[in-house]
Amino acid sequence: MKDYIEALITQTSDKAKVLRGKIVGPLKSSEFTGLYSRCERQLDNILERLEYLSNDPDVKAKENNGIRIRLLRRIIRELSVLEWSGIAALNRPNDDDVLLNKILFQIHTEIKYPLNPPTVTCLSQNYYVVHPSIGLLQVPLAESDSFLHLPDLYHELGHPILSAKGNPKSELFQAEFTKFNNKIFTFFLNRRNAISRQTGPRDYHKFQVNILAQSWMKYWSMEFFCDLFATYTLGPAYAWSHWYLTASNDADPYEVKINQVSSHPPDQARMEVILMALDLLGQKTEADKIKKTWDDLLQITGSKPNELYRKACPKDLLELSAVHSMEGVKAIGCRLADDKATGKIHELLNNAWNVFWQDPQKYRSWEKVQLLELRQGYTK
Amino acid sequence: MSEIGLNASIYEYLRIYADRIDYALIKIKSSNNQEAENARKDLVELLHEIGANETLKPGVLLLNVILQEELSSWSSTTKEAFQRLAYAMERKTENREDYKNLEEIAAVIDKECLSVSSRMQR
């Protein structure tokens, strides 16, 4: 076993060095320098930890074998993620990546984003994926050729603010997030206690409450906060983007899974918090228009609330998320997307949805012209 | 964000806590030098954080949710158990049972890391 661990450490160390060689130089553009430094730093850190596992007499002691292999496996997993994320992005950069990086940089300036913006790559095979530890945002290949999904970039910008560690620029947003999570915790604790006092099948109901509490606290609250961050900083275009994503996806917007923890809240609940946020921003007319179109979509697709939906997504919690998130966005000094908000990308993405609804058939011709102008503007 | 992205964020939180506990356990169990002292301080700080009644750190809160669920068989509540462990480590009065509990905590976080990371694979 000891020999096996030693060999695995050597192989992992070799792989880290091979991956370092896969970073193509010189870099395609200055937008990649941040990602390059972060990947290099992570590789250095991985190599240091491997050296420790290989040489430190304490970790090599027989009684620590269990811990040693645990540490090694985590390094192997980390390296594997780095391979298909950051290193792949640096190995295959292209012009579309450069365009999206320029757009994201512009967004970060317009909304007064408190952190460095992540680097964007069009290499995702799984919709939008952000890797806060290396500051990378993966988007699908065709994202640089359409505006209608781009509001999701604002959502992704919310995640690094939630995961930044020890950074005073993001702490106040995190504090609101944690206050909200503490309220979720209390809410489900009270519900569990109420079940204990009831007659009937308590175990099943407690199991259901545990699953919902974990879904909320592990995943949903984060997703709601990022939806709200996007709505507060971009406005109606984010709501439309959520509409679009739901319309093109065949999942039931009211569906709640209670057999296991689920990663995403129901689409209906996400739209509810987005509309609450638009109301809080003073964009009531737009919110009403979006709600009407959303209700039409639900009607056409035959989607109806089920018995579990409101139990899983109580209005009180949704409202609290909208309030806490707004406090957080204000506290870190981001620009709110009220009716006075301006900015090239802000206007472009909101206008894209107006043009789309005016004449969906002609929208694509308008979009192509705008895309060309945008590309030309950035290459000047 | 896709499920992979959500799990990437969660993995990063958990991985750091898992590493902190594992490195500390090795140092405290094996040596009696300044490095072991620093590792002990770090572990005590972490245990106090997890055992605190309120936190403003999203990572600690997430850890709390996971540990409460996974360690529900412990006789005392997770928060009480963490506070007790923190005091024992701080006063250097820890016993074999405490180390067993710390190993169990480390294993639970590692198991969660594995589960989160398997949801990140394509």
Task: Read off the pLDDT of residues A89-120 as tens digits, 9 standing for 90 and up.
Answer: 999 999 999 999 999 999 999 999 999 999 99
Of A130, A162, A185, the CB nearest to B58: A162
- Check CB contact under 8 Å for A222 and B31: no
Closest-CA distance of chain A to residue B105, Å = 12
* B window 77-106, beta carbon within 8 A of A: 103, 106
Q: Please check whether residues A217 and A336 belong to one and the same domain.
A: yes
- Check CB contact under 8 Å for B22 and A131: no
User: At what angle are helices A95-110 and A363-379 packed, to 10 degrees?
Assistant: 90
Q: Please check whether residues A97 and A12 belong to one and the same domain.
A: yes
- Determine the pLDDT at residue A42: 96
Interface ipTM > 0.85: yes
Of A70, A133, A181, the CB nearest to B110: A70
Q: Please check whether residues A173 and A291 belong to one and the same domain.
A: yes
Dihedral, CA of residue B93, residue B30, residue A78 and residue A216, to nearest 10: -10
CA separation for the pair B58, A160 (Å, rounded): 12
- Determine the pLDDT at residue A40: 96
Chain B residues inside the 8 Å CB shell of A162: 9, 58
Closest-CA distance of chain A to residue B93, Å = 21
Chain B residues inside the 8 Å CB shell of A132: 8-9, 12
- Check CB contact under 8 Å for B22 and A223: no
Mark the ranges of chain A whose per-residue pLDDT is less than 70. 380
Cβ pair A43, A18 in contact under 8 A: no
- Check CB contact under 8 Å for A130 and B54: no
Residue of B nearest to A217 (CA): B62
Of A77, A155, A177, the CB nearest to B117: A77
In angstroms, how far is CA A342 from the centroid of its own chain?
24
- Determine the pLDDT at residue B1: 60
Q: Which domain holds residue A28?
A: 2-145
Q: Does B108 touch chain A (CB under 8 A)?
A: no
Neighbours of A150 (CB within 10 A): 22
- Determine the pLDDT at residue B75: 67
Of A81, A178, A223, the CB nearest to B57: A178
Cβ pair A23, A39 in contact under 8 A: yes
CA separation for the pair A291, A279 (Å, rounded): 11
* A window 8-47, beta carbon within 8 A of B: none
Q: Take residue A175 and report the two structure tokens written for it.
A: 């504090």
- Please count the structural domains in chain A: 2
Q: Does A58 touch chain B (CB under 8 A)?
A: yes
Of B1, B26, B106, the CB nearest to A226: B1
Closest-CA distance of chain A to residue B65, Å = 7
- Determine the pLDDT at residue A299: 96
Q: Please check whether residues A68 and A165 belong to one and the same domain.
A: no
Please identify, among A79, A111, A145, the residue that sits at the C-terminal boundary of a domain. Answer: A145
- Determine the pLDDT at residue A177: 95
Q: Does A352 touch chain B (CB under 8 A)?
A: no
Cβ pair A212, A258 in contact under 8 A: yes
Task: Read off the pLDDT of residues A149-173 as tens digits, 9 standing for 90 and up.
Answer: 999 999 999 999 998 888 999 999 9
CA separation for the pair A177, A265 (Å, rounded): 16
Domain extents in chain B: 3-117
Closest-CA distance of chain A to residue B33, Å = 12
Q: Please check whether residues A115 and A176 belong to one and the same domain.
A: no
Closest-CA distance of chain B to residue A146, Å = 18
Q: Please check whether residues A83 and A53 belong to one and the same domain.
A: yes
Q: Please check whether residues A228 and A245 belong to one and the same domain.
A: yes
- Determine the pLDDT at residue B92: 92
- Check CB contact under 8 Å for A132 and B8: yes
Neighbours of B1 (CB within 10 A): 26
Contacts of A277 (CB under 8 A, 6+ apart): A228, A231, A232, A322, A325, A326
Please identify, among A117, A145, A173, the residue that sits at the C-terminal boundary of a domain. Answer: A145
- Determine the pLDDT at residue B69: 80
- Check CB contact under 8 Å for A77 and B1: no
- Check CB contact under 8 Å for B9 and A162: yes
Contacts of A85 (CB under 8 A, 6+ apart): A129, A131, A134, A136, A138
Amino acid at A79: L
Mark the ranges of chain B whose per-residue pLDDT is less than 70. 1-2, 75-76, 120-122
- Determine the pLDDT at residue A189: 87
Of B9, B22, B61, the CB nearest to A181: B61
- Determine the pLDDT at residue A252: 93
Please identify, among A95, A129, A145, the residue that sits at the C-terminal boundary of a domain. Answer: A145
- Check CB contact under 8 Å for B9 and A222: yes
Q: Please check whether residues A215 and A343 belong to one and the same domain.
A: yes
Q: Please check whether residues A117 and A25 belong to one and the same domain.
A: yes
Q: Which of A50, A52, A68, A74 to mutate to test the interface with B (most CBs of B within 10 A)?
A: A74
Closest-CA distance of chain B to residue A214, Å = 7
Residue of B nearest to A245 (CA): B1
